[in-house]
Structure 1
Amino acid sequence: MSDLAPAKLWWTANELADALLPDVPATQQGVERWAKRVNLRANSQVARRRSGRGGGWEYHWTALPLAARKALLIDASVPAQADAVSRGQIWTWFEELPDTVQDKAKHRLTCVQAIEALERGLGRDLAIKEVARLKGVSARTLWNWMGMVEGVRTDDRLPHLAPKHRAVARKVTRAEFDEEFFDWLAADYLRLERPSFSSSYRRAERVARQNSWVTAPERTMRRYLDARISQPGQILARMGLDALKRMYPPQRRDKTALHALEVVNGDFHKFDVFVRWPGIDAPVRPQMVAWQDVYSGRVLSWRLDLTANARAVMLAAGDMIEDWGIPEHILLDNGREFAAKEVTGGSETRNRFKHLEADIPGLFTALGCEIHWATPYAGQSKPIERAFRDMCDAIAKDPRFAGAWTGNKPEAKPENYASKAVPFDDFLRVVSEGIEEHNLRQGRRSEIAWGRSFAEVFAESYETSAIRKATEAQRRFWLMGAKGLRVHKTTAKITFMGNEYWSEWLHGHAGERVIVRFDPADLHGGIHVYGFDNAYLGTAACHLPAGFLSIDAAREHNRARKDWMKAERKALDAHRKLSARELGVDLDAVAPTDAAPDPQAKVVRPMFNAKPRVDATPAPRPEVEAAQATVVADLAARRAPKVADETPKQRFGRALELERAVEAGGIITEAQAHWLRVYQSTPEYRAEHMLWSDFGDAYFG
């Protein structure tokens, strides 16, 4: 054995795997398999049972492959030098180690300190033996630990006592490869098509062979790419801006400085329930517009409708203002129903429509509310979305709606999908109960509620807050529709929806643009006329009734996120040096020019008694051709007629007629039977059949 030896002589399989030594497997299982393959345990000179807790085997360093022994001897030939690495660097490295490794270093330090305390009276040899007995550590190991801190400052011993294989594994070294190879690999991998790293590496290898670039193993390149390009940068390159935006922590807004009815927010919610709406034959999924107090979380008002529309927004807002008062701030969704002129007309911050000087002031603009718009496609910016999520469970899945629940997405349809449609009155009653329960439920955990209900929090603040109440004149804003029109310059009449409205006082405003407010349910009842400054002018009676009777059924956080995303985009552009087109040009250059030759048959089966081919065309036979034409005509007559532009209900009706004909013993053609079998296997047939089962033949109207 050579006089030169590493500081650590005996190694466990786990320590050898973590040391990342040349020609030694990088996993504990791989080391164990290698030891069994070379029969190391049969030689007691190089293998022994481990005496510590957990048992196992230890292997002497001289039993390792030559390359691994050379690596250990190189480390041993360079003694631990405190000056080789700065104190800041070694402590920074130590802080990055896992807690389990740091605990091992702390245990070693206590052993070293115990030896130094005892050696003053016993000498080092006896002190090490005594500490070995007390700590359950071999004397040879303690000697190694003492050597690791030889010449090291007392306050710097802890990082020097950390396991050395960790230090070797964390050396900042880079495998030898050309930067062009890495640039090509990164440009191919960092694409929105999201190729796998393995496929990108194989393509990069092909180009590298063509250009004589030095390459490194795939796992090495993957680790190097992860070290060079941040995870957000990779997400931006492979998944886009929306995915990167989701990685930025959401903004948390404090509600403790608000009071009741200071800020409200509204939105539409489509229920996952089939309902039999009055006057409509087919089941529908109603939509609800709701207004919520942001401070307390209480739902202040709500209305149901078939679609999201401005009329429902106005009515629900009217309920809120009549019952509670006029809010100071309004947080709205960016939908067209909230950006409609009758709701927010005159607001300069609308995103859906252009702001025109001739726009009539909307409801909230006329009431002096400050309007705020939620960030598009960001549900977390609207607190009411949390309430809707609660209602999806507490209301839509109510046992009284069993069989009518549709599922919250197409692939989540229940087994009893569309087997029932809830009557509208029952649906209205259950929704009303659910919203009341939502407001009164105890145990809310917001920073305002502290275990109380939303209703209690709202009532406490409402009683002590200055609330604006609506006047009777303001009440007309939400009970009536609004329209900007022009008074006839000669007759002073106002024409609207086929009706003519006139009063003598209108001659004083002939030719002017005015705002008319009306009851959509009674256009013949007259209109209220306002100036464009919202000054009330008077009432005009319906002079010539005609047309319709009713039209009812007819920023710091964002800046920080943008700066963060911009920085990631710049970092990505610095790493992605090649475009997809340039990658394709390189791949075309390394494409094989000579295609592999087609295989040739080596064994040929002989043909015996082969007769020469005779190209004989049979003579025409008129009687055979006539019989064939008869068969073709008969098949064409029996083929099922092709029906164009059928609705699903009509196709199901045709299938139902064929089924009834078969049940009655009738005869259908083979083509009709084939069509029926195929149609019966489609989802459309099953859905139509469930509706027909509920409503019978009345389903066809």
Structure 2
Amino acid sequence: MAQANYLTKNSHVAPGGWHEDDRRELPEEEAEALWKFFEDATAKLKQQAYRDTEACHAWQIMKAQGIHHQVALGELKKEFGLSKSTLYDKIARIKGYDPQHWPALLVGQWTGENIRQVVWHEEAWLFFVRNTLTPGCKIKIAWSRTKRQAEKECWGAIPSYDTAKNYFRKLDQDVVTLVKEGETALKVKSPTAIRDYNFPLHTIWSMDGRRMDLRVIDTKGKYGAAGKSFRLWIYAFQEVRSRMLLGYALGASLDADLVRGAFLNALKTTGLLIPRKIQPDNGMETAAKEHTGGAPWRRRGKVLEDEIIGTFPMLGIEVVWAGVAHGQTKPVERLFGTLAQMMETRPEFRGAYCGNSTETKPEEFGTPVPVGLVEQALNEEIAAYHRTPHHGHGMGGKSPLQVYAEQMKMPGVPVRKISQAQLRLCTYSAVPITIRRNASFTILGASYWSEDTTKLAPGKGYYARYNPQNLSDPVHVYRKEKRLCEAVRTELTAFNDKAAGKEIMKKRAAYTKAVKQSAKALQDLSNSDTQDYLNSLAAEVLPEMVDEKSGEILPAAQVLEIVRGRADPLQERKTTEDLENDAIREEAKRMQERQSKESAERVRQRARGGFSK
């Protein structure tokens, strides 16, 4: 009824009860900016603006009804808590404008724009910002320092803490994050890559190691000295497409041997299937040349010509290094987090769980558990993980075991499988060696020698593959990808052992005799260089150089391309008789090669002047 009376009485005036002379129009651009400012305001300010709008409507209605202004002010004071000056200030702000804009016009009164503010001294502001951007420094502490420094430097008054905090929060927060917390914290604000996992099985394996948050005790000495207490390391290989944990190894330390053990365990799981790519971490255990030698690495520089060919490049596996200090690039990191939650928080490990930081370490920590209990729990939780539904990309709510089995049965998907000889090569460690003048070399203090090593040029540039579990096994000498020979361990003899001395002298005599026979055969060959022999040798050794019709010598090719594998595999173990026969055949082959090469060179030299008839 009051609104009806108000509208009837003021039908001749502008909307809102204003006289036509008082009416003001708000341009469209200003109205848009005004309402954008309103939308950016807090919910509390918006609520107060709507309440003030209601109070202004009530004032206009009571004024139209002819109610005395003192009575109206009392009613508004009682209903809305507005004093006379406050109400008049609001009415002045909205006077002449359409009522639909009143909330946006009134919200501006609550931004503090009309409050007298202290202006920052330039040096005080720079001091405050420099302190606030210091890592770990809170805004309150920086403001307190600035206040003390302002009194000391006579910078005058500085803004209040709330005002200073608001000024600081107006800075670009991504820049503040970079300066105060670093690039790693800034990555959280940056766009996140969403990976596509729809690729064939065994395309890429992810590999990494983690130190468990459990204290264990090795009572049987499986991982070192018996009775030793330590935190166990785990190294694992994960098939990325199916999220299947293919293999792992446990140890007291993170090193190249632990990586090899995990890789062999993965090969056992897959039935000797290997990936096309492998994604190692940047740790030194995987950067060891016996694993990734021959592959470029950010700390290794260029690949040397005589560098060790590691296990993965040797098998033709492309090495794709993970991003530095960026665990999100390694899917196996997520797997480690899942296994840690599943296993390390089991009730039987209370007292052994140490947490992942000093802040999360339980007070009851200090009682290690037997390492066998940890191994059993790990096997149980890995089996449970393989059967747990996964909702990642390409999984469709299926478990890793289901996806792996389905992908293996898909037709037309090629997989790579190594041979038993290549598997044996994977079990061996690789180490650079130096051939001494006596044709011997050492590995971990053990000396090795063979007749074949005497034929190698002394010096560096060689590497040997050896069985790390038994240094008495024969080792294999390589140069680049080529397997050169095999060497056996030289056993130590007693100082006064007569039988051992005789045996050494016997071997030395046999070796000297074999060399002398080879030298004699070479001399006999050089003395038999008759014209008829050279003519027949030219047709036999260099048939492509002799024209069948004219008998003229044809030019030879300048470049020959040799196609071979990245590294020669290990040979099968042979009997003593087989080794002796092989040695005789190898010696005969070398003699023939030397004879043919020297004779062929003489043929070429004489061919330049023509054969005499």
TM-score, normalising length: structure 1: 0.54
Match of 2:319 in 1: 371
1:303 Cα deviation after fit:
0.9
**Counterpart amino acid of residue 365 in structure 1:** P
Give the direction of change, closer, same or farther, for the CA distance of 1:180–1:481 in structure 2 (3 Å limit): closer
Deviations 1:73-122 (A, max 9, x none): xxxx9975525972442233233234687689899999x9xxxxxxxxxx
* Contact 1:448-1:457 at 8 Å conserved across structures: no
1:414 Cα deviation after fit:
4.2
Distance (whole Å) between structure 1 residues aligned to residue 295 and residue 237 of structure 2: 20
Distance (whole Å) between structure 1 residues aligned to residue 436 and residue 229 of structure 2: 46
Match of 2:398 in 1: 452
* Contact 1:105-1:159 at 8 Å conserved across structures: no
1:454 Cα deviation after fit:
1.3
Give the direction of change, closer, same or farther, for the CA distance of 1:351–1:248 in structure 2 (3 Å limit): farther
**Aligned match for 1:225, one of 168, 178, 181:** 168
* Contact 2:34-2:104 at 8 Å conserved across structures: no
**Counterpart amino acid of residue 231 in structure 1:** Q
**Aligned match for 2:408, one of 462, 466, 469:** 462
Alignment map for 1:60-75 (pairs within 5 Å): none
Determine if the alignment matches structure 1 residue 440 to structure 2 residue 387: yes
1:249 Cα deviation after fit:
4.1
Match of 1:261 in 2: 202
Distance (whole Å) between structure 2 residues aligned to residue 287 and residue 266 of structure 1: 14
* Contact 1:268-1:288 at 8 Å conserved across structures: yes
Distance (whole Å) between structure 2 residues aligned to residue 251 and residue 546 of structure 1: 65
Alignment map for 1:199-214 (pairs within 5 Å): 199-207=144-152, 209=154, 213=156
Determine if the alignment matches structure 1 residue 241 to structure 2 residue 182: yes
Match of 1:52 in 2: none
**Aligned match for 2:143, one of 198, 204, 212:** 198
**Counterpart amino acid of residue 258 in structure 2:** A
* Contact 1:514-1:529 at 8 Å conserved across structures: yes
Alignment map for 1:268-417 (pairs within 5 Å): 268-271=209-212, 272-279=214-221, 280-324=226-270, 325-351=273-299, 356-414=304-362, 416-417=364-365
Match of 1:686 in 2: none
Give the direction of change, closer, same or farther, for the CA distance of 1:408–1:182 in structure 2 (3 Å limit): closer
Deviations 1:39-94 (A, max 9, x none): xxxxxxxxxxxxxxxxxxxxxxxxxxxxxxxxxxxxxx997552597244223323
Match of 1:663 in 2: none
**Counterpart amino acid of residue 257 in structure 1:** N
5+ residue gaps, structure 2: 1-20, 57-63, 66-78, 81-88, 495-613
Match of 1:186 in 2: 129
* Contact 1:265-1:332 at 8 Å conserved across structures: yes
Bigger mean CA offset, 270-279 vs 297-306: 270-279
Match of 1:637 in 2: none
Distance (whole Å) between structure 1 residues aligned to residue 114 and residue 145 of structure 2: 25
**Counterpart amino acid of residue 162 in structure 1:** A
* Contact 1:285-1:306 at 8 Å conserved across structures: yes
Give the direction of change, closer, same or farther, for the CA distance of 1:297–1:402 in structure 2 (3 Å limit): same
Distance (whole Å) between structure 2 residues aligned to residue 439 and residue 231 of structure 1: 42
Bigger mean CA offset, 303-312 vs 479-488: 479-488
1:479 Cα deviation after fit:
0.4
Determine if the alignment matches structure 1 residue 431 to structure 2 residue 378: yes
Q: Secondary structure, in 3 states, of the residue corresponding to 2:228?
A: coil
Give the direction of change, closer, same or farther, for the CA distance of 1:290–1:415 in structure 2 (3 Å limit): same
* Contact 1:524-1:545 at 8 Å conserved across structures: no
Deviations 1:616-660 (A, max 9, x none): xxxxxxxxxxxxxxxxxxxxxxxxxxxxxxxxxxxxxxxxxxxxx
Deviations 1:214-257 (A, max 9, x none): 75444333322332x233444445x4415643542463331333
Match of 1:517 in 2: 465
Match of 2:600 in 1: none
Distance (whole Å) between structure 1 residues aligned to residue 210 and residue 318 of structure 2: 24
Distance (whole Å) between structure 2 residues aligned to residue 411 and residue 160 of structure 1: 53
Match of 1:91 in 2: 35
Match of 1:53 in 2: none
1:453 Cα deviation after fit:
0.8
Q: Secondary structure, in 3 states, of the residue corresponding to 2:275?
A: coil
1:525 Cα deviation after fit:
1.9
Distance (whole Å) between structure 1 residues aligned to residue 332 and residue 259 of structure 2: 15
Give the direction of change, closer, same or farther, for the CA distance of 1:202–1:312 in structure 2 (3 Å limit): same
Identity of aligned residues (%): 24
* Contact 2:143-2:164 at 8 Å conserved across structures: no
* Contact 2:45-2:107 at 8 Å conserved across structures: no
Deviations 1:11-33 (A, max 9, x none): xxxxxxxxxxxxxxxxxxxxxxx
Aligned length: 438
Match of 1:475 in 2: 423
Distance (whole Å) between structure 2 residues aligned to residue 107 and residue 98 of structure 1: 14
* Contact 1:321-1:469 at 8 Å conserved across structures: no
* Contact 1:315-1:478 at 8 Å conserved across structures: no
**Counterpart amino acid of residue 203 in structure 1:** R
Match of 1:82 in 2: 26
**Counterpart amino acid of residue 395 in structure 1:** M
TM-score, normalising length: structure 2: 0.61
Distance (whole Å) between structure 1 residues aligned to residue 109 and residue 239 of structure 2: 58
Bigger mean CA offset, 511-520 vs 337-346: 511-520
Give the direction of change, closer, same or farther, for the CA distance of 1:373–1:404 in structure 2 (3 Å limit): same
* Contact 1:104-1:162 at 8 Å conserved across structures: no
Match of 2:483 in 1: 536
Give the direction of change, closer, same or farther, for the CA distance of 1:175–1:450 in structure 2 (3 Å limit): same
Match of 1:162 in 2: 104
Distance (whole Å) between structure 2 residues aligned to residue 398 and residue 193 of structure 1: 35
Give the direction of change, closer, same or farther, for the CA distance of 1:80–1:222 in structure 2 (3 Å limit): farther
Distance (whole Å) between structure 1 residues aligned to residue 114 and residue 260 of structure 2: 66
* Contact 2:204-2:276 at 8 Å conserved across structures: yes
* Contact 1:528-1:539 at 8 Å conserved across structures: yes
**Counterpart amino acid of residue 205 in structure 1:** A
**Counterpart amino acid of residue 456 in structure 2:** H
* Contact 2:94-2:106 at 8 Å conserved across structures: no
1:365 Cα deviation after fit:
2.0
1:391 Cα deviation after fit:
1.9
* Contact 1:326-1:469 at 8 Å conserved across structures: yes
Distance (whole Å) between structure 2 residues aligned to residue 150 and residue 253 of structure 1: 55
